[in-house]
Amino acid sequence: MKTRTLGASGLRVSELGLGCMGLSFGYGPATEPEDAIKIIRAAYDFGVTFFDTAEAYGAENEELLGEAVAPFRDSVVLATKFGWKDGNTRTRELDSRPERIRLVAEQSLTRLKTDRIDLFYQHRVDPEVPIEDVAGTVRDLIGEGKVKHFGLSEAGAKTIRRANAVQPVTALQSEYSLFTRDPEAEILPTLEELGIGFVPFSPLGKGFLTGKVDAHTRFAEGDIRNTLPRFQGDAREANLRLAEAIEQIAARKGVTCAQVALAWLLAQKPWIVPIPGTTKLHRLEENVGAMEVSLSGSELAEIAAALASTPVEGQRYTESGMKLVGR
């Protein structure tokens, strides 16, 4: 697999990473640990060297990632995150106090079975803790050798600048896809100016861009899509038009909708590294296959026209979730 460098940091990773959240959190019942480990190891066999987890996905998520990569730990980049009170996203309470960041770092090191965290993100910006204090704490952890690189998630441009002034930010992780293009207005220019890499999560629109979701799709109990406005009623019906436009392009190229969506992201900037997640080996292979898909100028223009004519309906999170992004 080809590699990319996340901004000016020199952190080199595979062109496509693996988001591990869905293996045990957010999309219904957790995958059996042995099956999750198979997925992670298969990704490595395909050439993936960038793996993403978080304290908030549950201790088991970090633990199974640590176990899975143990045989080849020095050949991969592990990213994890801090920032939720007690690691619990359901309360919507944040905690990025320096002492909490240090505690999470120690716990993550243990669960990941490693002596360093390659990329340590603040999961959401905590308005109660100055970002300078957050960046300074991670800077100290870097000085101690426990962390290698500092990242932010869903942060606004002003916060990114303030953090970067204290400790250079290696990567921003935020939602970005054909289904969510908010970063294009202000975030991408800021990252390019500062030399910061971009790691889009949900690059397949939480499954919407795979062509496998229709008006009749029902999600499992505990699946976050049951509450997301874009997946409800009239909004879902309207948004299917965009998915259908992508499907037409994919059919002409003889590739899948997911591969077009990932290829489009990779075509935006050379420092963008998407991290699609999956619980199925054949989907993993499909996603990795996107690295071989090249979109022509006319195809990119066709996609741009489809985006312009079919605006996405509905917010990407509920009201409470939207309050936590872009700070």
Q: Which residues are catalytic?
A: 57
Q: How many Å apart are CA 169 and CA 241, to the nearest integer?
A: 37
SS3 203: coil
Residue 255 CA to residue 295 CA, distance in Å, equals 11
Q: Cβ distance 146 to 109 under 8 Å?
A: yes
How buried is 9 (Cβ within 10 angstroms: 0-12 exposed, 13-18 middle, 19+ buried)?
A: buried
Is the distance from CB of 196 to CB of 189 less than 8 angstroms?
no
The tokens for 103 are 């505690």
Q: Measure Cα distances from 289 to 113, 261, 263, 294, 295 in Å.
A: 30, 12, 10, 11, 14
Give the whole-angstrom CA distance, residue 74 versus residue 109.
14
Reduce the secondary structure of 32-69 to three states and give it as a string: CHHHHHHHHHHHHHHCCCEEECCHHHCHHHHHHHHHHH
Residue 219 is given by DSSP the state P
